Structure 1
Amino acid sequence: MDILVIGGSRYFGKRLIALLRESGHRLTVLNRGSSPAPEGIEQLVADRDDENALASVLAGRSFDVVVDQVCYTPRQAEIARRVFATRTRRYVTTSTVEVYEYEDSAVPVAESALDLASVTVDTGLPWEDPEFLEAHYGEGKRQAEAVFAAAGSPFAWASVRVAHVLGGADDFTGRIGHYAGRIRAGEPIAVPVVNHPATYVYVEEIAAFLAWAVAADFTGPVNAHSHGPLTTADICAEIEKLVGGRSVFQEVEVGEVSPFSFARSYGMDNSRAVGLGYSFTDSAEWLARAVSETLGGQR
Structure 2
Amino acid sequence: MRKNILIIGGTRFFGKHLVRRLLAQGHRVTIATRGQTPDDFGNTVQRLQVNRRDEAAMHAVFAHTSYDLVYDQMCYSPLDAAIALDVFAGKAGRYLMSSTIETYRHLVGTIQRPLSEDDLDLGQVSIDWHYPWRDPALADASYAAGKLQAEAVLLQDGRLPFASLRIAHVLAAQDDFTGRLASYVRTVQQGLPSHHLAGVGRTSFLNVEAVVDAMLWAGQADFLGPLNLACAGSLSAPLHARIAQLLGKPALLQASFDAETANSPFDYSHDYVMDTTRAHSLGHTFPAIDSWLDKLILDLHAHLQATDAEAACLS
Normalised by the size of structure 2, how large is the TM-score? 0.90
Does 2:294 align with 1:288?
Answer: yes
Deviation at 1:249, TM superposition (A): 2.2
Letter in 2 for 1:95: S
Query: CA 1:46–1:99 in structure 2 vs 1: closer, same or farther (change >3 Å)?
Result: same
Deviation at 1:244, TM superposition (A): 2.4
Note if contact 1:196-1:231 (Cα within 8 Å) is conserved in structure 2. yes
**Matches of residues 227-246 of structure 1 in structure 2 within 5 Å?**
227-242=232-247, 244-246=249-251
Letter in 2 for 1:186: G
Query: Which secondary structure does the structure 2 equivalent of 1:30 belong to?
Result: strand
Query: CA 1:243–1:140 in structure 2 vs 1: closer, same or farther (change >3 Å)?
Result: farther
Does 2:88 align with 1:84?
Answer: yes
Greater relative contact order, per chain length (Cα 8 Å cut-off, separation 6+): 1
Q: Which residue of 1 aligns with 2:310?
A: none
Does 2:111 align with 1:98?
Answer: no
Which moves more between the two structures, 179-188 or 282-291?
A: 179-188
Deviation at 1:208, TM superposition (A): 1.0
Does 2:135 align with 1:135?
Answer: no
C-alpha separation between the residues in 2 aligned to 1:120 and 1:247?
A: 44
Query: Which secondary structure does the structure 1 equivalent of 2:266 belong to?
Result: coil
Deviation at 1:235, TM superposition (A): 5.0
What whole-Å deviation, never above 9, does each CA across 1:8-61 have from its counterpart, x for those lacking one? 211111111111111111100001011245112000011111111111111211
Letter in 1 for 2:132: P
Q: Which residue of 2 aligns with 1:11?
A: 13
Which moves more between the two structures, 90-99 or 255-264?
A: 255-264
C-alpha separation between the residues in 1 aligned to 2:133 and 2:224?
A: 27
Query: CA 1:235–1:63 in structure 2 vs 1: closer, same or farther (change >3 Å)?
Result: farther
Pick one of 18, 33, 36 that aligns with 2:35: 33
Q: Which residue of 1 aligns with 2:186?
A: 181
Note if contact 1:65-1:88 (Cα within 8 Å) is conserved in structure 2. yes
Query: Which secondary structure does the structure 2 equivalent of 1:169 belong to?
Result: coil
Letter in 1 for 2:238: A
Pick one of 136, 144, 151 that aligns with 1:145: 151
Gaps of 5+ in 1: none
C-alpha separation between the residues in 2 aligned to 1:265 and 1:168?
A: 25
Note if contact 2:246-2:294 (Cα within 8 Å) is conserved in structure 1. no
**Matches of residues 53-92 of structure 1 in structure 2 within 5 Å?**
53-92=57-96
C-alpha separation between the residues in 2 aligned to 1:71 and 1:229?
A: 27
C-alpha separation between the residues in 2 aligned to 1:226 and 1:235?
A: 19
Gaps of 5+ in 2: 306-315
Q: Which residue of 2 aligns with 1:20?
A: 22
Note if contact 1:168-1:203 (Cα within 8 Å) is conserved in structure 2. no
**Matches of residues 156-175 of structure 1 in structure 2 within 5 Å?**
156-175=161-180
Deviation at 1:240, TM superposition (A): 4.1
Note if contact 1:72-1:144 (Cα within 8 Å) is conserved in structure 2. yes
What whole-Å deviation, never above 9, does each CA across 1:82-133 have from its counterpart, x for those lacking one? 1111211210000000000011232111000111122121121111111212
Aligned residues: 298
Normalised by the size of structure 1, how large is the TM-score? 0.95
Which moves more between the two structures, 240-249 or 196-205?
A: 240-249
**Matches of residues 100-115 of structure 1 in structure 2 within 5 Å?**
100-103=104-107, 104=109, 105-115=111-121
RMSD between aligned residues = 1.6
Deviation at 1:290, TM superposition (A): 1.7
C-alpha separation between the residues in 2 aligned to 1:81 and 1:271?
A: 29
C-alpha separation between the residues in 1 aligned to 2:182 and 2:296?
A: 12
Note if contact 2:196-2:253 (Cα within 8 Å) is conserved in structure 1. no
Note if contact 2:200-2:238 (Cα within 8 Å) is conserved in structure 1. no
Deviation at 1:180, TM superposition (A): 2.3
Query: CA 1:9–1:256 in structure 2 vs 1: closer, same or farther (change >3 Å)?
Result: farther
Query: Which secondary structure does the structure 2 equivalent of 1:88 belong to?
Result: coil
Note if contact 1:197-1:262 (Cα within 8 Å) is conserved in structure 2. yes
Note if contact 1:196-1:264 (Cα within 8 Å) is conserved in structure 2. yes
Note if contact 2:244-2:251 (Cα within 8 Å) is conserved in structure 1. no
